[in-house]
Amino acid sequence: MDIQPIHPEPTSFLKKYIFSTDHKVIAKQFIWAGLVFLLIGGLLAMAIRWQWAYPGREVPAVGKLLMPKSGGAITPATYASIFTMHGLIMIFFAITPLLIGAFGNLTIPLMIGARDMAFPLLNAMSFWTFLVSQGLVLASFFVQLGTGAAGWTTYAPLSTQVGTPGWGQTLVGLAIFVTGLATIMGGVNYVTTVIRFRAPGMTYMRMPLTVWGMWLTAILNVLFVPVLGSACLLLTLDRVFGTQFFIAGAAGGKGDPILFQHLFWIFGHPEVYILILPAWGIVSDLFSFFSRKPAYWYKGSVYAMTAVTILSAVVYGHHMFVTGMNPLLGQGFMLLTLIISVPAEVLFLNWLHTIWKGSIRLHTPMLFALGVLFVFGLGGLTGIFLGTISTDLYLHDTMFVVGHFHFTMAAASFLGTFAGIYFWFPKMYGRMMNETLGKLHFWGSIIGITLVFGGQMFVGYAGQQRRLYDPYQYTYLKHLHAWNHWTSMAAFGLGLVQLLFIVNFFQSMIAGKKADKNPWDVGTLEWEIPSPPPHHNFDVIPVVVRGPHEYANPDAKRLLGRDYLTQTEELPEVASKGAEGAGEPEAIGAE
């Protein structure tokens, strides 16, 4: 039985564009949903930076409209809600749908030679379930007492009715639970599709590294998102039905607040890699594509990402060094945390080897990929201090931690997302994005990111605690006002630069230059079909004969007049030899 038949294309508008089961349409839906919430999360970040630059002063333009009772100024309670929802929205409702929902849906079937996902209906259900979770987040802003305000980690007992009464925090907890359901649906689909729907010849070691990143992320999602879901479910029971899983001590319960931290971080540290693995995969391919070289030690990169995936399950305790953890247990988590940096360093060095002495084409996707390399290197090095108990005791809960994870997770995922958008935009919409606007967007973003998150690390090392409404109430932090002020100016500049992307995105979608079939001259399967692809992707399922990074091949240059071979392409003389029974020579980048 053919497990990938060609299904007829839907004819009605609703089935074609709204309730579609086509993975490419669902990818676009995830992009739009993610970009809207990326804008919301970014505006909340601007509000945080305004408060640190001008504490207690009226927010310009929208302050009196949104906060009339305080004369347009951010109050301590409002500030708690702002930084809580900034973190939650960026992680669960912006970066996740963009990197995993959109690019996972778009790239996995196209890059492995499949006509669609293994479970198209489940794929559509995943998006609409995710949209429900976004609706719950928006609803939480309009209930009495406001939205969640317990920090993005929602630690109990602060996140129970004892600490944050009202329906806002409850709706936020339910939103995380519902988006977890959507993530598990997508994860099951991704894992099954890669295992069952690879084209003939597409062995695991011939898959693009983008697919490896998405697949490993999906495995982590299936394994660890249920842990977060259970924590949110128990927390909701505490809030709504009066149970006491996480309430203890003076609050009158017999539960254990630290239990919530364990449940959260058992998921929470794999979540760091859930968000970064897709970006790692994308930039690993882009470095090869735009350096015109095979990816250095392809198998080593696969092994490194796999090792990080496995080790991510056993390092979560470094988030809890200050909870009174048994010192011996703490030493174990510290050792494992330092060990996980080894495969990450292997991957980083492979990137450097790939671009070293390459014929680099500095198109916009490559610039954003290089930006990922820079910010991840900077964030990774600073993470060593936080993985070591003796230094973490001093730096824990300071702005140094905030700067570190923004470099490592937020900035790397952010830049990796834009690298993917600029690279696959022609595949999605059949048009090219403007290179000049794209490069201006990159340089404004990378400079702003470095100044903002570097400034956070500086004031954190100087002693500023995170989550302070007004740090300058404390005498020992007053001298940091100038640093925070200029960091906020950089943040406002970073926000304004994103307008270039918005203009570029819409302008290119409507009137951009028509894209060639293979505008980047790369050899992966998605660029062997028209842009945008037909409903069924491939008229005939392709047969793969080599890996995804066949560049700088002198035979290809001599016989075909170009420097690359596609994954399905036989060299003319090789094909003739094969017909004579001479066999196939080994190809660069093949398994």
Cα gap 213→194, rounded to integer Å: 12
What residues contact 288, with CB distance under 8 A and at least 6 apart? Answer: 294, 295, 354, 548, 549, 551
What pLDDT, on the 0 to 100 scale, is given for residue 582?
42
| Alpha carbon distances (Å) from 100 to 106, 356, 363, 491 | 10, 29, 23, 26
Which of 91, 81, 96 has its CA nearest to residue 151?
81
How high is the pLDDT of residue 589? 40
The full 3-state SS of 300-336, as one line of letters, equals HHHHHHHHHHHHHHHCHHHHHHHHCCCHHHHHHHHHH
Query: At a CB cut-off of 8 Å and minimum separation 6, what does 470 contact?
Result: 51, 55, 56
pLDDT of res. 250: 61
The pLDDT, as a whole number, for residue 578 is 52
Residue with tokens 């930076």: 49
Transcribe 244-260 into DSSP letters: -SS-BGGGS-B--HHHH
Q: Does the domain formed by 18-511 have CATH 1.20.210.10?
A: yes
Characterise 514 by phi-psi region: left (phi > 0), alpha (psi -120 to 50), beta (else).
Answer: beta
The amino acid sitting at 240 is V
pLDDT of residue 254: 84
- Provide Rg for the chain, Cα atoms: 24
Amino acid 133: pLDDT: 98
Q: Which of 589, 566, 476 is nearest to 199 (CA)?
A: 566
pLDDT reported for residue 84:
97
What phi and psi values does residue 248 have, to the nearest 5 degrees? -150, 175
Measured distance CA(126)–CA(423) in Å, rounded: 25
**What pLDDT sits at residue 576?**
55
Given a contact cutoff of 8 angstroms between Cβ atoms, the answer to whether 107 and 23 are in contact is: no
Take residue 277 and report the two structure tokens written for it.
């693995």
The predicted pLDDT at position 34 comes to: 98
Per-residue pLDDT of the chain in tens (591 residues, 90 and over written 9): 577 888 888 989 999 999 999 999 999 999 999 999 999 999 999 999 999 999 999 999 999 999 999 999 999 999 999 999 999 999 999 999 999 999 999 999 999 999 999 999 999 999 999 999 999 999 999 999 999 999 999 999 999 999 999 999 999 999 999 999 999 999 999 999 999 999 999 999 999 999 999 999 999 999 999 999 999 999 999 999 999 999 987 666 789 999 999 999 999 999 999 999 999 999 999 999 999 999 999 999 999 999 999 999 999 999 999 998 899 999 999 999 999 999 999 999 999 999 999 999 999 999 999 999 999 999 999 999 999 999 999 999 999 999 999 999 899 999 999 999 999 999 999 999 999 999 999 999 999 999 999 999 999 999 999 999 999 999 999 999 999 999 999 999 999 999 999 999 999 999 999 999 999 999 999 999 999 999 999 999 999 999 999 999 888 888 899 999 999 998 876 555 555 554 444 443 443
Tell me the CA distances in angstroms from 565 to 302, 555, 568, 585, one per residue in order.
22, 10, 8, 14
